[in-house]
Structure 1
Amino acid sequence: MVKSAQETAERAGALETRGIEPVPAAERSGHPMQLFWVWFAANISILGLPLGATLVAVQHLAFWQAVLVAVIGAAGSFAIVGVVSIAGRRGGAPGLTLSRAVFGVRGNFGPTAVSLISRLGWETVNTTTAAFAFLSLCAILFGTDAGAKASPVLTIIGVALFVLLTVTVSGLGHAVLVAVQRWSTWIFGALNIVVGISLVTRIHWDKVFAASPAPAGAMIAGIGTIAAGTGIGWANASADMSRYQSPAVRAGSLIASAAAGAGIPLVLLISLGSLISADDPSLASAGDPVAAIRELLPGWMAVPYLIAAFGGLLLSNHLSVYSAGLTTLTLGIRIKRVYAVVVDIVVTFLGSLYFMLVADGFYGPFIAFISLLAVPITAWVGVFLVDMIRRRSYDPGALMDMRRTSAYWYRAGCEPRALFAWAVAIVAGYLFTTAGTGKDVWFSGPFAQTWLGVNGVGWVVTFVVGAGVYAALGGARSTR
């Protein structure tokens, strides 16, 4: 088969010039192992450790229970990511662009805007956390102050370095991103293994094995916590990567590549985090998890650990920023894809500097804010998956046509059933949601203190309501 000019250029590492327009079938030759490495790299961050720590410190699970919960919650939620990626293989377009077929070319604005804000939020978290790791590394190597406000020049350098490394890969596009994610996984994976072995050698095993098992309800809640903190947040970005997959790729292979690719590193890191917390529960409540883990390591491990933390966050940010650029274009902003990436990265650059150099606090209120955005994203996943039950193809021209002539114009550019189901699911989800902790609670739904709310599985309600309402309205009975 003769390769297209676009594919040849991409294989050579050239700039990806395609935006959100569907990739022609003749130009799609990707295979599932590419996605395996993409998802593996995006989830290799050492910050998976605090997530595992919460299973023991908050849910009070025994170590073996935490491992089982990690397998079901992480691999299971990324299986959902794999299912959504099937739409990318079918339509050859990014997830939120394909979403126009579900919500209408105008009605899709709401889900797209929410997704973009959430992406920018998590990218700001990644950038800020990586900059703190950079400051700690400089403090060890050069004796500088590790505080952001005490070292403003170093803070700017740290943020700029992380942003530059991110935009270089995300800006060049799909082929470069796939290659970098694959080979970087070996480097930072090896560093994580060294760090993990060092942490394991310091465990007091008598404390680990002395823990009593928690009831089954706590395990169910733990599965919900892990799923919400891992795969669910990536579901609306999965088609962004799978749009270059060959039409001949089997759906099961796409699901397996996501579940295994993300599941392997997440299960190992979450299990290690739960093991550490069984010995020392302070990790789960640490305001700065990077520093908290650093304190558990011997002095000689500080440098490789901080490099691993910085690199893991970078690999996650590559994928997030690439997806954010496509989401920006889906809003209707008419610029080239690489410029959309630059715009998004400038926002996270300025946001990170503000929170590090100006604001007094960051993690608590900011994560509470973007956690609120997880509810409408989960509602979108529910509606989108139901639509996939019968839909086997997408109209490439209609996806790009924002006028009345589009086959996805529906009523005034909106699909009422999808938007209604999405809105109802959001309301249902917020009934069980609490944003913030302690005295800094921003929002608490009327059912937030029920078992579902307290255990953080209100997102399940959101998903079920969104999918159920849309199906009941007939959303699954027509391919439109």
Structure 2
Amino acid sequence: MPLAHVSGGLPADSRPIVFDGSMPAAPGDLRVEGHGIEPVPESNRYGGPWRLFTVWFAPNLTMTGVFTGTIGVALGLDFGTALTAVVLGTVVGALPTAYLSTWGGLTGTGQLPLARLAFGRAVALPGLLQWLSSVAWDALIGLFGGDALARLCGWPFWVGVLVMMAAQGALGVLGYEAIHRLQIVMTFVLAVAFAVIAWRMLDGVHPATTGSATGADHMGAFVLTSTIALSLSLSWAPYASDFSRYLPRATSRPRMFWCTLLGLVVSFVAVQALGLWGASVLTDQTAAGVEELLGGGAAGAFGLLAVALAAALAAALGFPLVLWMHAADTTARFQNVLLFVGYWIPGFVAIVVVDWIARARERAGAPVDLAVETARPFPAWPSLLAFVAAFGAAVPFMDTGLYVGPVADALHGADFSYYVAFLVALALYTPLRLRRRA
């Protein structure tokens, strides 16, 4: 999607229209979206909050989530303990994403453009990090989708990845309504596919009733498993309002919140629980585990096709990263990428939320008017300082295969970096934002 300069501060009827391209205007309108990052006009808003459930549910029914679930058992936890950690982390990460999702209906604007209110020109930094994170997520999804497509068609792995990424890019070009419509269909298709996988697991696949981790190592593994689950659901936060920006301003915010929250939590917990349950046959095997589990034939082909279709719901640029993860030690490399792509997000969330709440109080109940909000420029250094400091403070608490911080090492692998980054950004930015207001 092209970028545009928004001329904030001018009356709505005199601002130059930088992108007045085509955009969907009703459910089923599949015209290619060329509107850019300008707010969606109220005349083009449509749909209800229920759409947010499917748009947040279907993309997460992927082998990425299943493979993430296997990590808890690999770290030495039993099924019940690992599942508790997964549920806890998923809910904590989904809460801010669901809250940010409600901003789309109020403003008609995507999440990163809205972040300019807090970051000003410094939004280029989280924008760059978001782009790099998107590349990494494309690689995580392409790893499984490309593998499934290659096995289904008898191709080399790299050919399956290239075909998968071409399909992903085509979907990204079609835009908002095409993604919504496809995800409604895929919600049912993928639910059936993963239900079939779960049904086949009943025949001879048993969840781990005991774990190898004990004492402080057990607690460290619990925290790390929870943080990995948190990273999945929180990774959607920088895109949250992108999928709700076409909803009418009058759409119920509580319903938007709950539809988003349920879509994220139900899907992520379901696939990670599946991974925990089938860790013995799925670990480090990606799509091969699915094919073996379903026994080949029509059932195996259906499972592989479902994995490939799920991967096609994302856009792609991460071909070299896919090949790197697939080359060796997939579990460790997968975990590293999964954590690294999200370390910047907690600080980002804290800053934009504090700024949003401060602006709401300054408006004293008046509706959000982005032209008015952008007409009040603030210096970028407070948000930039808090953002960088939050990331720096989190470094000693990180636990990955490439780097283990001294605090995480002392805590037997417990990774509290996401929580530290959020709290540090909150503590630094709040007084600076209040002082700026004064």
TM-score (norm 1): 0.75
Equivalent AA in structure 1 for residue 134 of structure 2: R
Correspondence 1:222 to 2:182: no
Cα displacement (A) at 1:129: 3.0
Alpha carbons of structure 1 residues 470 and 245: separation in structure 2 relative to 1, 3 Å: same
| Match of residue 75, structure 1, among 91, 95, 102 | 91
SS in structure 1 of the partner of residue 407 of structure 2: coil
Q: Which residue of 2 aligns with 1:57?
A: 74
d(CA) in 2 for partners of 1:213, 1:14: 53
Q: Which residue of 1 aligns with 2:132?
A: 117
Q: Deviations over 1:299-344 (max 9, x none)?
A: 33421221121122223x1xxx3xxxxxxxxxxxxxxxxxxxxxxx
d(CA) in 1 for partners of 2:222, 2:28: 45
SS in structure 2 of the partner of residue 390 of structure 1: helix
Cα displacement (A) at 1:80: 1.8
SS in structure 2 of the partner of residue 165 of structure 1: helix
Cα displacement (A) at 1:184: 1.9
Q: Which residue of 1 aligns with 2:182?
A: 180
Correspondence 1:85 to 2:101: yes
Gaps of 5+ in 2: 1-21, 361-366
Write out the 4+ residue segments of structure 1 that deviate beyond 6 Å after TM superposition: 210-216
Cα displacement (A) at 1:477: 8.2
Alpha carbons of structure 1 residues 79 and 24: separation in structure 2 relative to 1, 3 Å: same
Q: Which residue of 2 aligns with 1:102?
A: 118
Correspondence 1:16 to 2:13: no
Gaps of 5+ in 1: 140-145, 149-154, 322-344, 400-405
Correspondence 1:47 to 2:49: no
Q: Which residue of 2 aligns with 1:32?
A: 49
SS in structure 2 of the partner of residue 189 of structure 1: helix
SS in structure 1 of the partner of residue 36 of structure 2: coil
**In the comparison of the two structures, how many residue pairs are matched?**
406
Equivalent AA in structure 1 for residue 128 of structure 2: A
| Contact persistence 2:25–2:45 (CA under 8 A) | no
| Contact persistence 1:10–1:176 (CA under 8 A) | no
d(CA) in 1 for partners of 2:415, 2:39: 37
| Contact persistence 1:88–1:243 (CA under 8 A) | yes
d(CA) in 2 for partners of 1:213, 1:356: 32
d(CA) in 2 for partners of 1:171, 1:101: 27
Cα displacement (A) at 1:110: 0.5
| Match of residue 171, structure 1, among 170, 173, 181 | 173
| Contact persistence 1:133–1:306 (CA under 8 A) | yes
Q: Deviations over 1:18-43 (max 9, x none)?
A: 11001123432232111110111111
d(CA) in 2 for partners of 1:446, 1:220: 16
Q: Which residue of 1 aligns with 2:7?
A: none
Alpha carbons of structure 1 residues 242 and 475: separation in structure 2 relative to 1, 3 Å: farther
d(CA) in 2 for partners of 1:108, 1:369: 23
Cα displacement (A) at 1:96: 0.7
Cα displacement (A) at 1:378: 2.2
TM-score (norm 2): 0.82
Cα displacement (A) at 1:461: 0.8
Q: Which residue of 2 aligns with 1:324?
A: none
Cα displacement (A) at 1:394: 5.3
| Contact persistence 1:379–1:466 (CA under 8 A) | yes
Q: Which residue of 1 aligns with 2:192?
A: 190
d(CA) in 2 for partners of 1:255, 1:48: 22
| Match of residue 349, structure 2, among 381, 387, 400 | 381
Equivalent AA in structure 1 for residue 319 of structure 2: S
d(CA) in 2 for partners of 1:6, 1:378: 32
| Contact persistence 2:61–2:268 (CA under 8 A) | yes
| Contact persistence 1:85–1:238 (CA under 8 A) | yes
| Contact persistence 1:417–1:475 (CA under 8 A) | no
Cα displacement (A) at 1:267: 1.8
Cα displacement (A) at 1:221: 4.5
Cα displacement (A) at 1:456: 2.5
Q: Which residue of 2 aligns with 1:448?
A: 408
SS in structure 1 of the partner of residue 62 of structure 2: coil
d(CA) in 2 for partners of 1:29, 1:311: 27
SS in structure 2 of the partner of residue 467 of structure 1: helix
Q: Which residue of 2 aligns with 1:402?
A: none
| Contact persistence 2:197–2:290 (CA under 8 A) | no
d(CA) in 1 for partners of 2:435, 2:226: 28
Cα displacement (A) at 1:163: 2.7
Cα displacement (A) at 1:357: 9.8
SS in structure 1 of the partner of residue 312 of structure 2: helix
d(CA) in 1 for partners of 2:392, 2:325: 34
Q: Which residue of 1 aligns with 2:248?
A: 246
